[in-house]
Chains A and B, each alone.
Chain A
Amino acid sequence: MSLGARISAELRGDRAIWAIVLILSLFSVLAVYSSTGTLAYRVNGGNTESYLFKHALIIVGGLLFTYMSYLLHYMRFNRWAPYLVLFSIPMLTYTVFFGADINDARRWIEVPFIGITFQTSDFAKLALITYIARMISARQDYIKDFNSTFVPIIVPVLLICGLIAPADLSTAILLFITSLIMMFIGRVDTRYILLLLFLGVVVFSFLVTIGRFFPDFVRVDTWTSRVSDFVESPEGGYQIQQAKIAIANGNIFGLGPGNSIQRNFLPSPYADFIYAIICEEYGIFGGFAIILLYLFLFFRVTRLITKSPKAFGAMLVMGLSVSLILQAFTNIAVSLHLVPVTGITLPLVSMGGTSVLFTCISFGMILSVSKYIESLE
């Protein structure tokens, strides 16, 4: 058996989604490589090669995680979900108070003995989405019931989002919106959804109040300055202007791989503003390709939902894909000066340690569902 056939036999499930994962990974490596390919970063005796190497290693590791979570039967996630949520609440609490302070935000904790820091919200996000999918699918028959269905869902949502928000508001908001969308898709009563929205606003106001007294815990200052930057300067702040120059430099066909000029001006061109760099090097078509890949993911997931015999699988892929797309679109919207600066990464494309791994796990879970559906056909 040839290697290609062997791989293809191994990788069951939706091949199109597999392709999306691989293409995004490729984009990611290319974006990093294009920087190291230039003379500009030849400093520190091959430091850039180590960047590239490290990033490629993370991508390969991530794909391995994808594969591993794909191998698991997705119903296991269903069983684990309550425990994962239960585990993530103390973990997030710990992060808020004792997490590693990186760039003035406590989002990371260090794994004991291994020494790797990871962003706990990434873990909690997966846990919560799986949990909501489980609750909605398990209670489909009495989905409109307040006490037995709604309360068990909204308590973890408010708790987890509320714990993420102090250090990472944008992630919390995106996760909150994802939860609302999942509940909408899962036929939860619209009144309840509006109630949850209202409760979310209440929690947020509460956090802002706390932030007045404990600015170290809640980054209210950052939020206000970013929002006011966005509202007050019609052309955007320094970073945004640089991103716009990058996109304009790319024009229609781009400057070509490795020819980015603006990466020298953008503070973190391989995370927050990678979309601008892709546009600069590959033109608007490069940008379109990225957007289309995520759109295509959603189409494929919709197709899965139509075929899925079980509600949990459908809800899970829906939740995960909505989360990914919201993240992607938010990241892009920042570069395009449509929303304030957030710090949300472009899933799988941006360079950045452990969040890539969790993104890969999300894809693996989606693929695991698709594998099951395929096996039914």
Chain B
Amino acid sequence: MQVKNEVLSRVYVLLFGVILPMAAVLFYRTVDIAVIQGEKWRERGKDLYIAPRPVEAERGNIMARDGSLLATSIPYFDIYMDPNSTGMSEADFLKNLDTLSHCIATYVDNNFTPGGFREFILQKRVEGARYVPIKRKATYLQKKQIEEFPLFNLGQMRGGFIARKLSERVRPFGLLALRTVGYVRDGRKIGLEGSFDEILGGQPGQQFMLRVDPQQDIWIPTEDLLEIEPESGSDIVTTIDINIQDVTERALMRALNAHGADWGTAIVMEVKTGAIAAIANLRRLDTEGGPGYYEAYNDAIASATEPGSTFKLATMMALMEDGFVQLEDTIPIFKGRTEFYKLPLEDSNPLSFKIDSTSIRNVFAMSSNVGMATLIDRHYGTKTIRNKNKGPEFFIDKLKQFNLHLPSNIEIEGEAPPFIKEANSREDGWSGTTLPWMAMGYELLLTPLQILNFFNAVANDGKMMKPYLVQEIQQLGETQRVFKPTVVKRNIASAQTIDRARELLLEVVENEWGTANKLRTSAYKFAGKTGTSQINYQRTTNKNRVGGYQASFAGYFPADAPKYSCIVVINNPRQRGFYGAEVAGPVFREIADFCMKSRLEFRPLLDTLTIASASVKLPDGVIGEQTDVRKILKQLDVKTYGNPGTEFLVTEVRNDSLLLERRSVPGDVVPSVVGMGLRDALFILENRGLRVEVEGSGKVVLQSVKAGTPVRGQTVRLTLG
């Protein structure tokens, strides 16, 4: 028992002498830190602060109708080093520093020597830096490489490797439809990027970020603390046809350069649906790179101007709809000169000066101002029983029937509303000359798209469609939403009026006196109306007008079964003519030519017998891209043998089948592309950094730089034939 008591007394010594005092110290120290010194530590905790921060979602693509990317986001990385990361041990740091310095100086930043970088990072580590930039705008592959460097390969905690993912919006087709594709920048939302910002933008995620420097508000991402995964934005598929867009843009550019105009726009619309196949806007700007034409402003949608003679279609349709004129009626045009309320009015077509009177067909075809103004004044100028005692209002009612007073409501922001004066409205500035001047497209404002939409309705048998640019929304290639064509008005005029209007529009091209007669082609028929309107005429102080002209052409093709409608507007051409037919007309023709040529469905089907006889001749010495050639030959059921492993191949006829042979393309010299299609030739040449200019159509028959010349970024002119 004595032993036990002694043991117990020793236990009490332990309890009261050691355990309890220790517990007391722990208690006190807890209170000390939590409460007594609490304020100080809490304050310090605020400096080191972790909070959820938004992570940008991947932005969706904007695609052309065929899936070509008009705008896409390419990820890149800003890479930083945290030389004081929480898990980095002195040993790891020192052991790997030399190799890391060597890697960085060799592969990442040539401004550093290995020793220099070593010093730099040692310095930063001593300073307590947490966020040292290593490389900005690294590609994914570069990031992968840097991530594998010694020390960095230990991760963010132990190795101090920080990569921030960012993305850059790129437009692989450059200028093409640039303004319509638009952008979102500094709160400005332009074009499709702007209108579909929410859909493209997706849902931003959240990541916990650590604030390492409260003064400079620097945050570094904490490893693996992604709270909410960002949701990628959806892709939008536009109605833009990349080939038509390309031709449109180029034709417009050429015309603007040739005529030194201020701005120009061209739109191509699918007649049946209202889908915009191409929309080009070019405006002359003086930029750092010198003056030039840029997709800077969406004039097609945002610029409401006096349309001029293209509006005569509406005038004529109103007269026909009200039964005031027949196509064969003869009306006076007074040798092209008259006046209203002492304001003189002249035809601009010199042809008129010899003619006293002529048929409605000719008046429209030769675009006689006097004829149109006289007609409109006669039938709507005063209140008569025939116009139900409404006078001018009766005419305005017709324009409203044609929906010309309403905007097109295209998806993108910034459409200028049309301006059609209310009859006799003082507020709108209605005067005695308003009505005759309206007849020829003045004293009212319409955007190119609104005029085109009207012409399109005529081409579409009177059915007015809503023009649209986006046909589909996709998420990872899956269709999310489809935008169907929308009918705005089933019949803007009677079928008879529409038929006659189309006859008149064809007259403009086909009639000997037609303003666009010189543009006609034997290949196909198109119909349209020229427009040459005076601009800035209001500023006239004396007889000399300071303003110039706005040349336009609106129409559709092919005339008998319209597929596309198109408008070209060129504002203030300064040289080589100003008439719609000579400035805007050729652009229209070029676009129409391309569409008619490239669309298979426009070509008359070959007789099957012709195909059979044509197949006798196999293509010899044809060069093409491997998969393309094989696909075509398979489609045509041509027997082939040989399996060249090269990207391109050349064919050789062997009896009734084709031998496919290797065709290698050397990398550092200009290759021969003669015999190739344009697409393959462009691919090969542009991949070598060469600039390519193209002339004609068909296969390459001539190249301006000889094959075998070392590549130095030359421009190669290809002649196709």
Contacts and interface: CB of A to CB of B under 8 A. Distances in A.
A89 to B, nearest CB: 28
Contacts of B42: 245, 248-249, 251
Interface residues of B, number: 46
Interface string B341-382: 000000000000000000000000000000000000000000
Interface stretch (A36-44, A52-60, A156-164): A36-44
B85 to A, nearest CB: 10
Interface stretch (B3-11, B174-182, B415-423): B3-11
Interface string A254-283: 000000011011010000000000010001
Interface string B204-232: 00001010000000000010111110000
Interface string A234-257: 000011011011011111100000
B26 interface: yes
A291 B50 contact: no
A247 B33 CA distance: 7
B34 A187 contact: no
Best-surrounded residue of B26, B91, B225, B227 (most CB of chain A within 10 A): B26
Contact of B10 (A44, A187, A306, A325): A187
B633 interface: no
B29 interface: yes
B44 A287 contact: no
Best-surrounded residue of A248, A264, A318 (most CB of chain B within 10 A): A248
Interface stretch (B17-25, B260-268, B406-414, B609-617): B17-25
Interface string A294-329: 110010001001100001001000100010010001
Nearest to B47: A245
Contacts of A305: 7-8, 11
Interface in B533-566: none
A140 B3 contact: yes
A291 B224 contact: no
Contacts of B287: none
Contacts of B225: 40-41, 43, 264
Contact of B23 (A248, A329, A336, A337): A329
B635 interface: no
B34 A261 contact: no
B227 A42 contact: yes
A332 interface: yes
Interface stretch (A63-71, A178-186, A344-352, A359-367): A178-186
B35 A291 contact: no
B14 interface: yes
B41 A244 contact: yes
Contact of A288 (B27, B39, B40, B91): B27
B35 A40 contact: no
Contacts of B157: 267
A187 B4 CA distance: 10
Contacts of B7: 185-187, 305, 311, 314
B38 interface: yes
B37 interface: yes
Contact of B208 (A238, A264, A267, A332): A264
Given A40-B225, A302-B15, A332 B34 contact: no
Interface residues of A, number: 54
Best-surrounded residue of A283, A284, A306 (most CB of chain B within 10 A): A284
B701 interface: no
A252 B8 CA distance: 37
Given A249-B42, A264-B225, A338 B8 contact: no
B45 interface: yes
Contacts, number: 127
Contacts of B172: none
A336 B87 contact: no
B10 A332 contact: no
Given A251-B35, A295-B23, A306 B30 contact: no
Contact of A248 (B15, B18, B37): B37
A214 B90 CA distance: 19
Given A265-B50, A305-B7, A336 B15 contact: no
A241 B384 CA distance: 96
A181 B19 CA distance: 11
Contacts of B45: 245, 248-249, 261-262
B48 A245 contact: yes
Given A245-B48, A329-B22, A336 B33 contact: yes
Given A39-B227, A40-B227, A184-B14, A288 B19 contact: no
B33 A265 contact: no
Contacts of B6: 187
Nearest to A329: B22
A166 B8 CA distance: 35
A185 B10 contact: yes
Given A140-B3, A283-B34, A284-B31, A302 B44 contact: no
A332 B19 CA distance: 14
A318 B11 contact: yes
Contact of A291 (B23, B33, B90, B222): B23
Nearest to B92: A104
Contacts of A247: 30, 33-34, 41
A251 B40 CA distance: 12
A185 B11 contact: yes
Nearest to A332: B26
Interface in B55-107: 86-87, 90-91
A185 B27 contact: no
A290 B224 CA distance: 31
A265 B90 CA distance: 19
Best-surrounded residue of A41, A44, A247, A250 (most CB of chain B within 10 A): A247
B666 to A, nearest CB: 49
Given A187-B3, A267-B86, A305-B8, A291 B27 contact: yes
Contacts of A306: 8
Nearest to A287: B30
B226 A43 contact: yes
A208 interface: no
Given A140-B3, A295-B23, 16 more contacts: A43-B224, A44-B224, A221-B91, A245-B41, A247-B41, A248-B33, A261-B45, A267-B157, A283-B34, A295-B19, A311-B7, A329-B23, A333-B29, A336-B29, A337-B29, A338-B25
15 contacts: A40-B225, A42-B227, A44-B224, A184-B14, A185-B11, A248-B33, A252-B35, A262-B45, A265-B86, A294-B23, A295-B23, A302-B15, A306-B8, A336-B30, A338-B26
Please give me the 9 A-B residue pairs with the lowest Cβ-Cβ distance, nearest first: A248-B41, A245-B45, A336-B29, A248-B38, A247-B33, A287-B30, A248-B42, A247-B34, A185-B10
